Amino acid sequence: MVLSSLILCAPAMAELGYTDWFENGEPTMLSILGGIYGGTWSNGGPDYTNGDITVYRVYDFDDGQESIHIVDGDQFDIDQVWTDGIATVTAQAKYAGLNQSFGWNQGGTDPCNYQELLSYDGPSGVIEGGPVVEIDIEGDFLWGIQPNGDEWWSKMSNNSDGGMDHLITFFVEGVGEPDETVWLLFWEDLPSSSWDQDYQDFVVEIRASIPEPATMFLLGLGGLALLKKRRK
C-alpha cells in the first residue's frame, strides 16, 4: 500500500490537514489523471502535473472553517461545505463494484435532502462520454454520493460512520474556460468499517462559473434554479 498524504485524519482534528488515502493495488492517481486529461503525470507532495495541467490537493479539515467557494476557492480552502455558482458536473471515472450516484443536498448543511444529479452503473475505468449535469446554486450546500443505499457527504460530521471523510478534492489549473474554476472530487463509497480508503470509487469533475446578473435575479431566495441533464 502506498501512503499518499502525511497527516492522519480524525473527525475532531483542529488543525489544517489532509485525509490519508491509499492506492491498494488499483489504478494509481497518475494513471487516473492521465486517463481523464491525457499526458504523462508526475507528483510532488500532494499535487500532480503533466506539464500543462496541475491538480492541487485541497485541504480536508482545519480548525472549524469548513467552507469553500465553488468559483473563488482554491487548494487552500476546505472541501466540506461548498458555496455559490453555476456548475457543470461530469462523471469522469469509476473504480468500484457498486453502482454510483452523485448528488447534493439542495442547499444548506442539512444532510437529509439528497437529490441525485447523475449516476453511473457501467464498468470500472475512465468514463468516456459520461453523464453531465448543469446546475445553478446560491448559498451553502453539500455534495454527496449514494452507493448501494449508503449515503456519504462532503461534510464529514454528517457521515454515519463516525464522521469519517469520504471525499478528497483537487483544484485543477490548465483546463476549462478562462472564467471557469475546475475541481476533481474523488469519493470513497464504503463505510469506514469495510473501506479500503482508495478514494477512487467515483471521480466527478466540477466546472464552476459566476452566474450572470439575470441568472442571479432568477435564483431569488436561492437553491436550485436550473437542472438539466445532457450527454457529452
Predicted pLDDT of residue 62:
78
The single-letter code of the amino acid at 115 is: Q
Task: Quote the mean pLDDT of the chain.
Answer: 85
Predicted pLDDT of residue 26:
78
pLDDT range class, residue 213, cuts 50, 70, 90: low
Determine contact, residues 124/32, Cβ cutoff 8 Å. Answer: no
What would the pLDDT profile of 139-163 be if each residue is shown by its tens digit? 999 999 999 889 999 999 999 999 9
Domain, as residue range, for 107: 29-231
What would the pLDDT profile of 8-25 be if each residue is shown by its tens digit? 344 444 578 999 988 776
What does the alpha-carbon distance between residue 80 and residue 101 come to, in Å, rounded to a whole number?
18
pLDDT range class, residue 165, cuts 50, 70, 90: very high
CA nearest 6: which of 17, 131, 138, 15?
A: 17
Predicted pLDDT of residue 211:
63
Query: Does the pLDDT value for residue 178 go beyond 50?
Result: yes
H/E stretch holding 37 reads helix 29-37
Three-state secondary-structure class, residue 105: coil
Domain assignment of residue 3, yes or no: no
Predicted pLDDT of residue 41:
98
Predicted pLDDT of residue 212:
62
CA nearest 131: which of 226, 219, 52, 202?
A: 202
Residue 113 burial (10 A CB sphere; 0-12, 13-18, 19+): middle
The single-letter code of the amino acid at 223 is: G
Residue 192 burial (10 A CB sphere; 0-12, 13-18, 19+): middle
Domain assignment of residue 176, yes or no: yes
Domain assignment of residue 9, yes or no: no
Domain assignment of residue 5, yes or no: no
What would the pLDDT profile of 108-141 be if each residue is shown by its tens digit? 998 889 999 999 999 999 999 889 999 999 999 9
Three-state secondary-structure class, residue 227: strand
Query: Does the pLDDT value for residue 4 go beyond 50?
Result: no
Domain assignment of residue 24, yes or no: no
Predicted pLDDT of residue 13:
44
Predicted pLDDT of residue 125:
96
Residue-wise over 25-43: b if at least 16 C-beta within 10 A, else e? Answer: eebebeebbbbbbeeebee
Query: Does the pLDDT value for residue 3 go beyond 50?
Result: no
The pairing of beta strand 42-44 with beta strand 47-49: antiparallel
First to last CA, the chain: 35
Domain assignment of residue 21, yes or no: no
More confident residue, 217 or 57: 57
Mean pLDDT of all residues in 38-51: 97
What does the alpha-carbon distance between residue 209 and residue 57 come to, in Å, rounded to a whole number?
20
Please give the tally of structural domains in the chain. 1
Predicted pLDDT of residue 71:
95
Mean pLDDT of all residues in 22-30: 84
Domain assignment of residue 1, yes or no: no
Determine contact, residues 135/121, Cβ cutoff 8 Å. Answer: no
The CATH number that applies at residue 57 is 2.60.120.400
Rounded to two decimals, the pTM is: 0.84
Domain assignment of residue 227, yes or no: yes
Query: Does the pLDDT value for residue 104 go beyond 60?
Result: yes
Predicted pLDDT of residue 2:
35
Predicted pLDDT of residue 9:
40
The single-letter code of the amino acid at 192 is: S
